[in-house]
Chains A and B, each alone.
Chain A
């Protein structure tokens, strides 16, 4: 295909959805990808998981490797642009495709990036807003604290969707103090500036401890892995799960950072 020209814009009609698993779910938490797949299928979607997927390119983009991010973005655009919907179980990866890809290009690639951007959704947003899907009632209602990942909250406006879905499933969601404040993950930030990052994580963990929930949910694995890693280092009795797992009824998989029995 000559990529200097815009490919035909003929996405399939119907609820054909491409699931972009995201690199963290693929490697660290396959249960999130499984849960996402299950939820989308329950909601009546025909789900494709394109084989040629890797990472959305955020690490390079946020570290200043613009050309690397652009080449990654082109690879992602090529794979996902044939689909009418692209869904990701991550606010920051969805934000990367929706908000940031177009900024990486001019000309035809910009148009392709913008066209894709319009079809990209974070999972809970897609389930709630696009599909109007309602979860089944859980048989094991729990009290959860919820962490809004910054990219989801501010780039995509994700706040009520996961809370509403969890409530409809019969769970109780507690807001924590400073819920709009970053948890300290920030991609490579947490590795570049670990002391500051840990301080931010501790503030977040403290807020969770002050709530009456023992489990923190979020829609982004980056935040969850870093918070769970910090909590384990400090031996705090908190648990961490992705919202997709809970909505799909998967409470069997050990929580993030916990050993399998």
Chain B
């Protein structure tokens, strides 16, 4: 695609204003004045998980820790049956979700993308962030972004081994290109959808899920 007149004129002007003689020079200047932080500092996994759960709850998530996959399935079933009188939910094609023993708890997943008719979605987060009590969800073929947005309630599973201390941990996987199989985007979710636009009253479920339940799989089972 050829550059438009606007692009050409703006970029010519900006090039004239640029301080460093080249992009490489700018990058090395940046590395000098603001070194790239360590993305993940080694830490005590259980302390990191505890602070993640604590902050997640403070954000308005409900959250629990379970030993392993089997317990997780039962936790999902308990959450679903408390909210609706059928056992259906929607989930992406994430291999980890496909491998869960759903039938043990009598659950009936539909694998695919959520529609406006789905009540509950179950997703598997790529990582969690203790610093902010957030979960990092990849948007890719196995994890439709709409599954995080269209249902009334969402259950998000995350492995204890994927809980990272700081927000920088979100960027441990740095490859986003299609060639490298990266996701087209990341959604970092840190609480149920909310708004305070009417009378400054906090109301949940502005557009997305009104309730989000986090299940942390400790991998003990």
A–B direct touch in complex (beta carbons closer than 8 A): no
A interface residue numbers (CB < 8 A to B): none
